[in-house]
Amino acid sequence: MRVIAGTYKGHSLKAVPGMNTRPTTDKVKESVFHRIGPFFNGGLGLDLFAGSGGLGIEALSRGLDRCIFVDHNGKAIQIIKENISALRISEEQVEIYKADAKRALKACAKRELKFDLIMLDPPYKLKNHMELVEQIEKLGLLKESGQILCEHDAKDVLTETAHFSIMKREEYGMIGVTIFQKQI
């Protein structure tokens, strides 16, 4: 697992040991970021269910100013910190929290944060993508031009909501990726 493009291009990332996390493959990461970026002119990201932090780190490498990393697994939090440290990413660019996803979203809303990019990659067995997308919508966490990137089981079909349309849906074998954006 490595950073595909940008400032940290080519650097390897540590993965969370065990079978509880499933890092986004380099092929999927490259394709997805090519569709949503491929580079950013600043902005704020949220890597929810961050695992090793690969998606958020890729977004920082491609130009996001800051990223908040959230995972409920203590070992994942440790690996994110190690990956951030190894790449010498500035402390001002990251916030890392051990928290439940729904609580983290509520905390972001209390802080009145608005994100340019929200990355959702929960364990496939949870099947709560739409619930999270609807909570993001209800809490008003996405900027007008923002996007939500959802990685999910290819068998699962995510649908548009009252305020978010599907910009792109792709399949990579068993992996599905759906990208939402605000309806204008």
* Domains in the chain: boundaries: 26-182
**In the prediction, which pLDDT does 21 show?**
60
Q: Is the model's pLDDT at 5 over the cut of 80? A: yes
Q: pLDDT of 85-126, one tens digit each?
A: 999 999 999 999 999 999 999 999 999 999 999 999 888 777
CB neighbour burial string for 124-144, b if at least 16 within 10 angstroms, e if fewer = beeebbbebbebbbeeebbbe
Q: Is 76 helix (H, G, I), strand (E, B) or coil?
A: helix
Q: pLDDT of 45-75, one tens digit each?
A: 999 999 999 999 999 999 999 999 999 999 9
For domain 26-182, the CATH architecture is 3-Layer(aba) Sandwich (3.40)
C-alpha–C-alpha distance, residues 75 and 160, integer Å: 34
For residues 30 and 58, is the Cβ–Cβ distance under 8 A?
no
**In the prediction, which pLDDT does 90 show?**
95
DSSP 23-63: PPPHHHHHHHHHHH-SS-SS-EEEEET-TTSHHHHHHHHTT
**In the prediction, which pLDDT does 110 show?**
97
**CA 33 to chain CA centroid, nearest Å:** 11
